[in-house]
């Protein structure tokens, strides 16, 4: 099938770019001698997951138990569910474990640890757990130097659960810019997780796993001493937010939304296209960056961005406000929009149209959503 | 099933509130003696569509051909596809028409009219068309007083297509506030569509349909003289944006996202919940309104909003920055988040958990997405 035959809007995946992005991350992590545990929350596709885990013996990371279900059904056994466990999800987690999944949970409080271990005891299960560490004051987690809380959580996991180690996500790295700041943030992430692990070991607890990760820090870490695994997910696709951070080039972005010009706003020199926020997502992640890309950048046109989006309409305009020469973009013209945030844009679609170098659509890979 | 037994996040639909919202709109439109053509882009559910069309003989409005497919399969025959037609969608539209759908397309240029009529001639079909009118300089459409363009489009629809009339969407009404401004905007919408219809009739074209609509204007129009039908969709659910415009009360909002407290940020007095932007959407439609509701308002707690959202994490905090008394919200507490924008939040989910007055979940209604 040719790209021009697609009904728009449609999500495209440039397979050669994706493979290059994956190879770059594999090399960056291998250099440190640690394991890559790809985060599959961006992809939500078995085919993309297989491309991301090719050559790696380690497990994967998920953000929902639906992802755990789907990837376990596809043969992925070692799964880290990297969102603090809610009590109402414990029966679902137990079901996965009983069916043979090596599913690890995370939590950051004595209350949650008590709930997990009580559930494990009642069900005759031992639930594997990592303690979440807040390495950068970003969101959730125990402070790395709060040894009393770490030890209290570890103690309450003694029966019905099993402490496997610690994990952290340096989400604050999304505010970093350029290699120096990203490297500094990676060190914050590493040192916080390692200090917490050492505090637990000093208190007499085993802490074999030290898990860190975010796409910005994973590519820029200079030292991963004491870390056992790195989690990252956006790298396979990359996006405009990552390009704005200096993590990749715009040319590395492997997904885009195909859209068609359906009208002209002649007075203002705008194009109306059939990709609105339903196809692009409402994500405005570049708004706070140096270059605001609106709701997305038109591939191959550095100054054309989606300045406004309704549900099924987008408005494409020059970023500097100059009226476009509309004759260059007649009704029916196909454009590709690069996304601000790959996770959010991909989530609006139920399939990838996988393209080769020549722009032929070779495959359709399903993707799933929901919980 | 009880609400407390749901795995979160989950989309809830309060059926009694929805029925009251539908009755209110039905009464408002009936008062004018025109037809309501409900827009199903918010609902994307056959069950909700049936609730919205109960008692009305008229057709429905859709924003994608996927919606047309799904609702046609469920027995809805009269369908207005209210997004400017792209040439690559004509085969899909033709397929629906051949299968018996009375599908009307819209367009706003001679180029699009030529493409549609040429396609209709080549396929031996007569494709019904409305001309889109730009009643408020909002987005797409022909200016109401541009009789030359209106006549040129109408002429090029002479064969292979059939001009049914005009339509407009007063999307600028989302910038209005309160009954007076909303009524003024409704009049802008009405008068623009009626003037365009009169221009077409004066030029010798039949123009039986004069279709207008947006949820804000539909409830506040004082005169709909010359209009034949009103399109509106959000009214069945309502949302915080509509409440901010004065279109409804917060208490009228019929959908919400159930979420669970999974952690505490004790230092700042915040709750971490398991509804992030994947469950709530990235829509920040109240940001430009008088009351910014963040990523959503916690039902029953006027000052608790979702101040920040990652993919599967939300941060709930006091809107004035006061630290919360975390003991009131232990791990496992169930909260309901009211959405900024019903269309965007519902789009993140594949089902409605339908509740009665007592908060029991009585039914699960599937919803669809995509194109």
**Does B189 lie in the same domain as B56?**
yes
Answer yes or no: is pLDDT of B175 > 90. Answer: no
Average pLDDT over residues A177-201: 94
Rounded-to-integer distance, Cα B235 and Cα B223, Å: 19
Lowest mean per-residue pLDDT among A55-59, B185-189, B349-353: A55-59
Residue A230 has, within 13 A of its CA and on its CB side, a CA count of: 32
> Inter-chain contact B139–A313, Cβ cutoff 8 Å?
yes
Question: CB contact, 8 Å: A287 with chain B?
Answer: no
- Check B283 against A277: CB less than 8 A apart: yes
B93 and B199 together in one domain = yes
pLDDT at position A54 is 82
In this structure, the answer to whether residues B227 and B261 fall within a common structural domain is: no
The answer to whether residue B248 is domain-embedded is no
Percent of chain B surpassing pLDDT 70 = 99
Restricting to A residues 150-169, those with a Cβ less than 8 Å away from any Cβ of B are none
ipTM for the whole complex: 0.96
Does any domain span residue A337? yes
User: By the CB < 8 Å criterion, does B350 face chain A?
Assistant: yes
What pLDDT is recorded for position A346? 98
Q: What are the Cα distances from residue A286, in Å, to A139, A296, B202?
A: 20, 9, 49
Determine the average pLDDT of the residues in A116-144.
Answer: 94
Is residue B57 predicted with pLDDT exceeding 60? no
Nearest-Cα residue of chain A relative to residue B316: A139
Q: Do A96 and A226 fall within a single domain?
A: yes
pLDDT for A215 beyond 90? no
Q: Please say which residue of B235, B267, B295 terminates a domain.
A: B235
Predicted pLDDT of residue B58: 66
- pLDDT in the model for residue A186: 94
Output the pLDDT for position A109. Answer: 97
CATH at B75: 3.20.20.10
Same domain, yes or no: B52 and B196: yes
Residue A106 has pLDDT above 60, yes or no: yes
Q: Which domain holds residue B356?
A: 3-9+254-366
With beta carbons less than 8 A apart as the criterion, state whether A40 and A235 touch. Answer: no
Is A275 in the same domain as A196? no
* Residue of B1, B7, B142, B287 best to disrupt the A interface, most CBs of A under 10 A: B7
Taking only the tens place, the pLDDT of each residue in A297-332 is 999 999 999 999 999 999 999 999 999 999 999 999
Asked if residue A63 has pLDDT above 80, the reply is yes
pLDDT of residue A2: 85
The alpha-helical segments, DSSP class H, found in B131-288 are 147-156, 178-202, 215-220, 240-245, 277-280
Whether residue B184 is found in the same domain as residue B285: no
Beta bridge partners of B315: B272, B308
Number of domains in chain A: 2
Buried b (16+ CB within 10 A) or exposed e, B27-63: ebbeebebbbbbbbbbbbbbbbbebbbeeeebbbbbb
- Answer whether residue A56 shows pLDDT above 70: no
Please say which residue of A179, A208, A236 terminates a domain. A236
Contact indicator for B114, B152 with CB cutoff of 8 Å? no
Q: For chain A, say whether B220 makes contact (Cβ under 8 Å).
A: no
Query: Among B62, B66, B46, B42, which Cα is nearest to B54's?
Result: B46
**Which among A89, A331, A347 has the least Cβ separation from residue B278?**
A347
> Which pLDDT score, from 0 to 100, does residue B56 have?
65
Residue B22 lies in a domain: no
Query: Are B218 and B286 contained in the same domain?
Result: no
Domain endpoint, select from A236, A266, A290: A236
Identify the band that residue B171 occupies on the pLDDT scale cut at 50, 70 and 90.
confident
CB-based contacts of B347, cutoff 8 Å, min separation 6: A278, A348, B44, B281, B369
Per the structure block, which two tokens stand in for A86?
């809610």
Shared-domain flag, residues A213 and A260: no
C-alpha B53: how far from its chain's center? 15
User: Helix (H) and strand (E) counts for chain A?
Assistant: 11, 17
**Is position B88 within any domain?**
yes
Q: Which of A115-124, A131-140, B251-260 has the lowest mean pLDDT?
A: A131-140
Tell me, yes or no, whether A20 lies in a domain.
Answer: no
Centre a 10 Å sphere on the Cβ of residue A69 and count the other Cβ atoms it contains: 19
A14 part of a folded domain: no
- Same-domain status, B230 and B295: no
| Mean per-residue pLDDT, B202-220 | 93
Q: What is the CATH number of the domain that holds A273?
A: 2.40.37.20
Considering only CB atoms, B313 lies closest to which of A139, A274, A312, namely A139
pLDDT at residue B215 above 90? no
As a whole number of angstroms, the distance between CA B254 and CA A234 comes to: 35
B260 contact A CB<8A: yes
B79 and B225 inside one domain: yes
Does a structural domain hold residue B21? no
Same domain, A221 and A130: yes
> Residue A246 domain-assigned?
no
pLDDT surpassing 90 at residue A173: no
**A260 touching chain B per CB within 8 A:** yes
Contacts of A4 in chain B (CB under 8 A): 88
Contact between A262 and B112 using a beta-carbon 8 Å cutoff: yes
The pLDDT value given to residue A55: 62
Q: What percent of chain A has pLDDT over 90?
A: 89
């Amino acid at each position: 099938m040719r790209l021009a035959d697609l009904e728009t809007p449609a999500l495209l995946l440039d397979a050669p770019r994706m493979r290059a992005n994956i190879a770059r991350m594999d090399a960056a992590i291998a250099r440190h001698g640690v394991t890559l545990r790809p985060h599959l929350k961006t992809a939500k596709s078995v085919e993309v997951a297989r491309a991301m885990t090719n050559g790696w013996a380690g497990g994967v990371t998920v953000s929902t138990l639906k992802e755990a279900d789907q990837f376990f059904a596809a043969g992925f056994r070692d799964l880290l569910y990297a969102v603090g466990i809610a009590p109402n999800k414990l029966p679902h987690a137990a079901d996965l474990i009983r069916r043979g999944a090596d599913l690890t949970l995370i939590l950051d409080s004595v209350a949650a640890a008590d709930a997990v271990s009580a559930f494990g005891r009642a069900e005759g299960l031992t639930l594997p757990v990592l303690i979440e560490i807040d390495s950068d004051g970003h969101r959730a987690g125990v402070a790395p130097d709060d040894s009393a809380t770490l030890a209290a959580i570890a103690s309450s996991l003694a029966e019905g659960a099993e402490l496997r180690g610690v994990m952290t996500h340096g989400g604050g790295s999304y505010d970093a810019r350029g290699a120096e700041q990203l490297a500094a943030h990676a060190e914050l992430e590493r040192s916080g997780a390692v200090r917490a692990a050492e505090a637990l070991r000093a208190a007499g607890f085993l802490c074999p796993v030290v898990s860190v990760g975010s796409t910005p820090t994973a590519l820029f870490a200079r030292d991963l001493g004491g870390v056992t695994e790195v989690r990252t997910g956006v790298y396979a696709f990359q996006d405009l937010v990552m390009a704005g951070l200096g993590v990749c080039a715009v040319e590395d972005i492997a997904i885009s939304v195909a859209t068609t010009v359906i009208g002209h706003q002649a007075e203002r020199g705008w194009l109306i296209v059939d990709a609105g926020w339903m196809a692009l997502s409402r994500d405005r992640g570049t708004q706070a960056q140096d270059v605001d890309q609106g709701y997305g950048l038109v591939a191959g046109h550095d100054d054309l961005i989606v300045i406004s989006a309704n549900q099924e309409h987008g408005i494409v305009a020059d970023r500097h406000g100059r009226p476009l020469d509309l004759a260059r973009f007649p009704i029916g013209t196909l454009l590709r929009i690069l996304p601000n945030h790959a996770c959010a844009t991909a989530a609006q679609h139920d399939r990838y149209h996988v393209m080769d170098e020549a722009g032929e659509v070779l495959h359709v890979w399903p993707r799933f959503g929901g919980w």
